[in-house]
Amino acid sequence: MKATTSEWSNWLTNCFKFNYAGTIRSRFPLTPVKMEKYCNLIKKSNPVIDKIFWVIEKDEDPYSTDRIGENEAANETRLMKTGNHAHLIVETKGGRILKDPNLRLYGKLPFYIPYWMPIKSLKQYMKYGLSKISKSGDSYGIVL
């Protein structure tokens, strides 16, 4: 039995204290296996991160993704018709998340996180972020 969006929202807001949101892009289409690996790398390199919930979202128009300019991974994703990205919500142990905590050393990692933003209202963010779950099929998970 699949959970509804409101059941997901209730579970996430009542059981966790997520306080940051971000987006992850990759040179290659993201999969659940890659997301587990990438989230574990993110946690390992940034010790203030305790938990990460992620949802993969297919790019509506892969040629117009993330025009930040500094994001080479998004530029490469844009060339693929199967482009996607993932929304991250993060619970920290206190402290701030570093924007780029040594993850892109020498350009060896195949993903990029263009921003981390504090979540002011988790319930409001859930309305936006969890709407992606129903569109993503089974492309979501949590790394504790």
Class of domain 5-143 (CATH, top level): alpha beta
Tell me the pLDDT tens digit for each residue of 5-46: 778 778 888 889 999 999 888 878 899 999 999 999 889 888
DSSP three-state, residue 61: coil
pTM: 0.78
**Residue that has been written with the tokens 């991974």 in this structure:** 73
The token pair that represents 103 in the structure block:
């993850």
C-alpha dihedral (123, 114, 78, 83), degrees to nearest 10: -40
Are 89 and 50 within 8 A, CB to CB?
A: no
Instruction: Name beta bridge partners: 51.
Output: 91
Residue 17 structure tokens: 């204290």
Report H helices in the chain: 5-15, 32-45, 72-78, 122-129, 131-136
d(CA 122, CA 115): 17
| pLDDT tens column, 57-105 | 887 755 444 444 444 544 444 455 567 889 899 999 988 887 654 555 5
